[in-house]
Amino acid sequence: MIRVYLPGHLRTLANINGEVEIEIQGPVTQRSVLDALELRYPALQGTIRDHVSGKRRSFLRFFACQEDLSHESPDAPLPDAVVSGAEPFLVVGAIAGG
């Protein structure tokens, strides 16, 4: 079970309380996790990844296991600790505005 933690404004948008738990069939990657997340919560479509380019929105970051995975390939395997559910996959709003 993959654990995903979203920033507060996206949890509110999608009516999510706390973490989301997602079952993934096949490789666990940023793309497969976000595809599954958007399938369950369509309101999140376009809010984490751009509708057209499919790329991460520039003011959002992807963290896991104390590492910034934002610039990793969306098809790279996520860390084992994320795959096992020991650690969450974090979608984080970049600090902006002081």
Member of 27, 59, 81, 86 binding another protein (CB under 8 A): 59
Distance of alpha carbon 12 from alpha carbon 21, whole angstroms: 17
Q: Does 96 bind another protein (CB under 8 A)?
A: yes
How many chain residues touch another protein (CB under 8 A)? 19
Tell me which residue of 22, 25, 2 sits closest to 79, measured CA to CA.
Answer: 2
Q: Does 81 bind another protein (CB under 8 A)?
A: no
Within 14-33, the residues that bind another protein by CB under 8 A are: none
Distance of alpha carbon 3 from alpha carbon 33, whole angstroms: 9
Q: How far is the CB of 30 from another protein (least distance, A)?
A: 17
Phi first, then psi: give them for residue 2, nearest 5 degrees: -90, 130
Phi-psi region of 33 (alpha: psi -120 to 50; beta: other; left: phi over 0): alpha
Task: Determine the interface stretch with another protein among 23-31, 38-46, 62-70, 76-84 (rule: CB under 8 A).
Answer: 38-46
| Residue numbers at the binding site for another protein (CB under 8 A) | 7, 9-10, 12-13, 43, 45-48, 50-52, 57, 59-60, 93-94, 96
